[in-house]
Amino acid sequence: MVKYLPMTESRVKYIKLHTRDEESLQVLETTVLHGWPIKREDTPSLAKPYFYFRDEITVQDGILFRSEREIIPRTLRMDMMQKIHSSHFGLGESTKPKTVIRKLRALFARYGIPDTMISDKGPQVSCNEFAKFATEWEFDHKTSSPGYSQRNGKAEQAVKSAKRLMKRARKDNKDNLHFRNTPTERNV
């Protein structure tokens, strides 16, 4: 599973290192590998937040997963939030459409194909190659200029919601994993 993650080998090593250094994830890994207690109250306290979805948690090559998603160590979550908030999936101006399409294929394979994708009017997505990709994968591609708040507002609101959840979790000293599978409006 680890070799199929849409991230570089150095990023995978970085996550493994932080997973190894985080006590709660080490307790969780030990619990997963040795078997979960039948009752939540018999579960080690650092693993209790994961008890109700324990059957979804696996360990692969030093990384913990909930279903097909890696469990990001607390020490890396703010870094991940910044990456989520950055534009172009971390791609530079000189990025080719093929690179954008390859990264989107990995995202779509993991999270599903959206009905609509809204992006800027960058040359990577304003070309025939990208239009063909959108048609083949059956999603609508809409563009928006950075100053057009009606479209960018949804992305900004998603980032605000994610930041709010992270702050709440930090304040309450709790994990955010139960929010990861919360149904969206479309799935309710």
pLDDT at 176: 53
3-class secondary-structure state, position 118: strand
Determine if the pTM surpasses 0.75. no
Count other Cβ atoms within 10 Å, centred on residue 35.
8
Residues 116-175 have pLDDT tens digits of 888 877 888 889 999 999 999 888 998 876 555 555 566 667 667 777 777 776 776 665
pLDDT at 148: 55
pLDDT at 121: 78
What is the domain partition of the chain in residue ranges? Answer: 2-76+176-187, 86-143
pLDDT at 129: 93
Helices (H) and strands (E) in the chain, counts: 7, 5
Q: What is the number of residues in the chain?
A: 188
Q: Which fold has domain 86-143?
A: Nucleotidyltransferase; domain 5 (3.30.420)
Check pLDDT > 90 for residue 36. yes
